[in-house]
Structure 1
Amino acid sequence: MATKPILSVSGVAKTFILHLREGARLPVVNGAGFDLYAGECVALGGPSGAGKSSLLKMVYGNYRVDDGAIRVRDGDEVVDVATAPPRRLIRLRDTTMGYVSQFLRVIPRVGARDVVAEPLIHDGVAPEEATKRAGELLARLNLPERLWALPPATFSGGEQQRVNIARGLIAHRPLLLMDEPTASLDAANRAVVVQLIEEKKRAGVAILGIFHDAEVREAVCDRVIDVTSFGQMAA
C-alpha cells in the first residue's frame, strides 16, 4: 500500500438548511475523517439517511463543505476539494477523479457507444480506438450490439446503468467514486462489475463507494467506513 493517501478526508462537517421549513437545520455529518490509498476499495456504510451519498458528493465537489478538508492527490500536487476554485475542480475531475452515479445523465440523441467513448477521446485517444474500446466494454457488460448506436434515454434502467458504468470505468482515473453501481443489475452483470472493479484495484485505482448489495460489497471492498460514527444527527 502507498504511504501517501490518494484521498484524505479530515474534520468534514455538513448541515443542510431547509429554507422551506423556516430555516430548520439538518445535520448530515460532523468530524468525518478517513484516508483512502491506491489499490483499495472502501465502502461507506450505515443506514439510509446516515449521510453516505452526501459525503460522496462532497468528495466529488457537488456539495459544499461547511468545515474540514477533502484533499485529493493530483500527481505531485494535493488539491483541497473543499476550497478549490471551480476551474481547478473541473481539471481535477478531468485528470484524477471519476464518478459513477446512480443515474445516467447524457446529451440527448447521442448513441450509447459514443457516450462511453467520450472520456477516452477527451483524454486524447483517437476516436477509432476509443470507439473500439467502448464497444468491447459494452460487450463485456452484455449490452446488445444492436443498442450501441441508440441513445441511452430509450433504454431500460439496467441498460442505462451498464452504459453509466462503462462510461465511468473506461478511462483511467486514480480515484473512482461509485454510488450504488449494481443497484439495477442482474446477477450476471453484477459479476461483471465485480470483475471490472477488481481490475481497477489491480491497476492501482483507489475506489470509494456505496454498495448496498452485500455480496458485491463483500467481494470487492477491503473495509467499510461506518458513516454514523461521524456525529450524524439526522434521521
Structure 2
Amino acid sequence: MSEPILEVSGVAKTFVLHLRGGARLPVVSGAGFELFAGECVALGGPSGAGKSSLLKMVYGNYRVDQGAILVRDGDETVDVAHAAPRRLIRLRETAMGYVSQFLRVIPRVSALDVVAEPLIHDGVDREEALAKARALLARLNLPERLWSLPPATFSGGEQQRVNIARGLIAHRPLLLMDEPTASLDAANRAVVIGLIEEKKRAGVAILGIFHDAEVREAVCDRIIDVTEFAKAA
C-alpha cells in the first residue's frame, strides 16, 4: 500500500476555560488513524464527541497538546501539530483543502470571484478560472443571476453551494469536509455526492463529518469512531 496522505498519531487536546476559573475540558486523547489517496473516511460519533475539533486540529485551526498530524505535501511530510504559521499557510495552498459548514468571505466580492480565487492563486489564467467557476456553480444549481452578487446576501443553502464550489474547484491531495450537505435539498445532495466521487477517483483523500446518512453511505469507505478517543480523554 502507498504511503498515507494523512497520519494522525497520539493526538490529545484539552480546552482550558479561562472564564470558568481555568477549568479543563478534555476533548480527545490518543487519537490515531491513517488516510490514503482515493478514500473517503467519516468521523463518527454523537454531538460533542470531538469530531469538529479533530477536523480543526488536522487543518491547524486548533493546536494540539501532544501527538503528531502528518500531511504529505509532495515529497515532504509536514507535521501540522508543530508547523510554523507560514508553513501551515503554504500547506493549505498546496496540499490541503477545507469545506466548512459556514462561508466566510470578503464582503462585496462576487460569488463567481469567491469560487475562482483558489484557481487564480494556483496560477490558472483568470478567464479559465472563471469559466470553471461558472461550470461548477451551474452544476450545483446556483441561479446565474446570483453569480455576480456577494454571497453574504444568499440563503444558507446558496452559501453552502458557493462554499462547496470554492473548496472543490482546485486540486488538493487532502480534502476536509465539515457537514458539506447540511443545508442542501435532495437534488443538490446528489450533485455533491457525484463531486465527491469524482475527487476520490482523482486520488484525493477525504476526511469529513457527514451527519446525512444517505451521503455518508454513498461516499464513505469507512468510519472512525471518535468516541474511542473521547473515552480516553
Q: TM-score range by the shorter chain?
A: over 0.9
CA contact (8 A) 1:51 1:232 kept: no
**TM-score, normalised by the number of residues in structure 1:** 0.98
What is the aligned partner in structure 2 of residue 96 from structure 1? 95
**Is structure 2 residue 37 aligned with structure 1 residue 38?**
yes
Structure 2 partner of 1:5: 4
Contact 2:5–2:35 (CA under 8 A) maintained in structure 1: yes
Deviation, structure 1 residue 233: 6.5
Partners of 2:225 and 2:189 lie apart in 1 by: 24
User: Which aligned pairs between 1:193-232 and structure 2 lie closer than 5 A?
Assistant: 193-232=192-231
Structure 1 runs of 4+ with >3 Å offset: 231-234
Deviation at 1:3, TM superposition (A): 1.8
On the 8 A contact 1:81/1:89 being kept in 2, the answer is yes
> 2-side partners of 1:232 and 1:166: how far apart?
36
RMSD value over aligned CA atoms? 0.9
Q: Normalising by structure 2, report the TM-score.
A: 0.99
- Which residues in structure 2 correspond to 1:117-156 (within 5 Å)? 117-156=116-155
Between the aligned partners of 2:114 and 2:63, the Cα distance in structure 1 is 28
Q: Which consecutive unaligned segments of at least 5 residues does structure 1 have?
A: none
Aligned-partner Cα distance in 2 for 1:231–1:189: 33
1:28 aligns with 2:27: yes
Are residue 106 (structure 1) and residue 105 (structure 2) matched?
A: yes
Asked whether the 8 Å contact 2:49–2:230 carries over to 1, the reply is: no
Distance 2:82 2:11 in 1: 12
Measured against aligned partners, the alpha-carbon deviations of 1:181-224 in whole angstroms (never above 9, x if no partner) come to 00000000000000000000000000000000000000000000
Residue ranges of structure 2 left out of the alignment (5+ in a row):
none
Contact in 2 for aligned 1:50/1:232 (Cα 8 Å): no
Residues 131-172 of structure 1 show CA distances to partners (whole Å, capped at 9, x for unaligned) of 000000000000000100000000000000000000000000
8 Å Cα contact 1:11/1:68 also seen in 2: yes
Secondary structure class of the residue paired with 1:88: helix
Amino acid corresponding to residue 16 of structure 1 in structure 2: F
Q: CA deviation at 1:232?
A: 3.7
C-alpha deviations, 1:26-83, integer Å up to 9, x for none? 0000000000000000000000000000000000000010000000000111000000
Q: Give, in whole Å, the separation in 2 of the partners of 1:116 and 1:3.
A: 32
Q: Which residue is equivalent to 1:47? A: 46
Q: Percent identity?
A: 86
2:98 is paired with a residue of what secondary structure? strand
Q: Distance in 1 between matches of 2:80 and 2:169?
A: 24
